[in-house]
Structure 1
Amino acid sequence: MSEEILTKDKIHVKAFNTLIAYQKGLELVDMIYDVTLNFPKFETYELGSQLRRATTSIVGNLAEGKSQLYTKKEFSFYNNSLGSCGEVECWLEVSLRRKYITKEQYIDLNNRTIEIKKLLIAYLNKLSGK
């Protein structure tokens, strides 16, 4: 998909799926969905749901931010995505402490989340002119 989409009003909307953080976020979503399948049944609508929703919020906010016409709104959605990364890190730690995931799974998933955070910070710095 191209970087920009030209609408009939000559307004340019950027394609969100070109963002590396979005692509890596989708990979993380798939992995989180897979790992939460093994959570205890009673956690299906508790911790598992929280972890899935936080992870999908990362990519959802990236898509919504990249689709904005105004830089301030784009910045705000990217910042929300960054916050969701922090939430994912929290729920991963709880999952590890409850022994729902292994130490290896925790390290892999947490490192992937940190990688997305670094990309988001770079996007935010670029948008703010730093």
Structure 2
Amino acid sequence: MRSPATRFEDLVVWQKAHQFVLAAYRLSWTFPRTEAYGLSSQFRRAAVSVAANIAEGFKKRGTEDKLRFYNIAQGSLEESRYYLILTMDLDYGDVSKLIPLLEEVSKLLEAYSRTIRNSDS
């Protein structure tokens, strides 16, 4: 059995979210220059928000406070999902590696949130 996480970096959900951020940056580097302040910036901000909100929620003491940050992370993940669709539709790059990673982060985040919610019952 795993010992409880003592730092947000110990969370598998954060580790996967961080991998998603890195992949989002790598993909957005290939976007046209005209997207520097558009899609590139928005996509990066949303991806970073996922990992950052997981990190911030980790040290919150109350269950409701923790879950609020994890819910914001889930919202940013869905925003990122849209940016992947847009990237694909604009033919700006290959999103095939990012979609499964986004799905994995989403499932892990949902499971982690459920565990937090149930531990308060």
Q: Same fold (TM over 0.5)?
A: yes
Identify which of 48, 71, 85 aligns with 2:63. Answer: 71
Check if 1:122 corresponds to 2:111: yes
Check if 1:27 corresponds to 2:19: yes
Check if 1:111 corresponds to 2:100: yes
Task: Give the whole-Å Cα distance in 1 for the aligned partners of 2:30 and 2:83.
Answer: 15
Task: Give the whole-Å Cα distance in 2 for the aligned partners of 1:25 and 1:117.
Answer: 9
Q: Deviations over 1:36-82 (max 9, x none)?
A: 11101110110011110000000000000001111110011001111
Q: Which has the higher strand share?
A: 1
Residues 46 and 77 in structure 2, CA contact (< 8 A), matched pair in contact too: yes
Match of residue 3 from structure 1: 5
Alignment of 1:21-100 (within 5 A): 21-100=13-92
Task: Give the whole-Å Cα distance in 2 for the aligned partners of 1:73 and 1:20.
Answer: 20
Q: CA deviation at 1:119?
A: 0.5
Task: Give the whole-Å Cα distance in 1 for the aligned partners of 2:69 and 2:51.
Answer: 10
Aligned residues: 116
Task: Give the whole-Å Cα distance in 2 for the aligned partners of 1:28 and 1:73.
Answer: 24
Residues 20 and 102 in structure 2, CA contact (< 8 A), matched pair in contact too: yes
Q: Which runs of 5+ in 2 are unaligned?
A: none
Q: CA RMSD in A?
A: 1.4
Q: TM-score normalized by structure 2?
A: 0.91
Q: Which runs of 5+ in 1 are unaligned?
A: 5-14
Structure 1 segments, 4+ long, off by >2 Å, are none
Give the share of equivalent positions with the same residue, in percent: 32
Match of residue 12 from structure 1: none
Pick the structure with greater CA Rg: 1
